[in-house]
Amino acid sequence: KAGVTQTPRYLIKTRGQQVTLSCSPISGHRSVSWYQQTPGQGLQFLFEYFSETQRNKGNFPGRFSGRQFSNSRSEMNVSTLELGDSALYLCASRVRAGPDTGELFFGEGSRLTVL
């Protein structure tokens, strides 16, 4: 069974640019969450999508947005990049049905560097 797949794995952008990251969840998983991981702040929740609808949102500015498609694949977008957006962006999926206690399965992440 394939895991969570994220693309691209690494990317470098400059301040002011925008970036789009992609995530394909585990087959059968309908919920996709995005987290930002930095050395200083640790893992911080960005948002969760289920059935193409944003269900939860973390405390990030509006420059961070996302969407989910009918096949459960998800994208997140960061506009007007700032130096502080340099981080590992992790996508995680879960079943969100049946006896679901909420465990997340993470992808390998997309490492964004903003210069």
List binders of other proteins among 55-84 (CB under 8 A). 55-56, 58
CB closer to other proteins out of 71 and 101: 101
Does 2 engage in binding with other proteins (CB under 8 A)? no
Closest CA to 72 of 106, 28, 14, 38: 28
Q: Which stretch binds other proteins (CB under 8 A): 10-18, 21-29, 54-62, 73-81?
A: 54-62
Q: Judged by CB under 8 A, which of 13, 20, 30, 45 binds other proteins?
A: 45
3-state SS, residue 47: strand
Ramachandran bin of 95, using left for φ above 0, alpha for ψ from -120 to 50, beta for the remaining angles: alpha
The answer to whether 74 and 25 have CB atoms below 8 angstroms apart is yes
Question: What's the rounded Cα separation, in Å, for the pair 5 and 82?
Answer: 25
Does 99 engage in binding with other proteins (CB under 8 A)? no
**Residue ranges in contact with other proteins by CB under 8 A:** 31, 33, 35, 42-45, 48, 55-56, 58, 90, 94, 96, 100-109
